[in-house]
Amino acid sequence: MAPEAKPGLDSKTLGYYDDNAERLARAYDGADVSQLHALLRRELPVPGRVLEIGCGSGRDSLLMASLGCSVVATDGSESALTASYSPSISLRRR
């Protein structure tokens, strides 16, 4: 079943992420992002405010929050957001 169309989002792409959210979350969460996280630790102004668009399972959002940033993370795929297994993430619909 195709996901409900959202402004600016390709329904085929969104459908892919919805249908594969758990598998993708495991792959993304298991990826080596040490260079990205080192860059964020070095360059991110802390404390600060971050809007992460396309956050998926929230892996990078959690890091930025742990560094002291206030993070709002969003993703077009609700399934991607709920695939996060971290108890540190609280989901709110807006």
Contact yes or no for 3/11 (Cβ under 8 A): yes
Task: Say if 82 falls within a structural domain.
Answer: yes
Q: Which two tokens stand for residue 40?
A: 């964020």
Q: Which two tokens stand for residue 81?
A: 């957001």
pTM of the model: 0.79
Question: Which structural domain range is residue 78 located in?
Answer: 33-88
CATH number of the domain to which 41 belongs: 3.40.50.150
Pairwise CA distance, residues 86 & 3, whole Å: 25
Hey, which bits of 2-93 come out as E strands? 49-53, 70-74
- Domain count for the chain: 1
- Other beta carbons within 10 angstroms of residue 56's beta carbon come to 21
Task: Say if 28 falls within a structural domain.
Answer: no
pLDDT in tens, 11-36: 898 999 999 999 998 998 889 999 99
Tell me what pLDDT residue 53 has.
93
Task: Say if 94 falls within a structural domain.
Answer: no
Pairwise CA distance, residues 56 & 42, whole Å: 23
Task: Say if 20 falls within a structural domain.
Answer: no
Task: Say if 54 falls within a structural domain.
Answer: yes
Model confidence band, residue 92 (pLDDT cutoffs 50, 70, 90): low
Task: Say if 80 falls within a structural domain.
Answer: yes
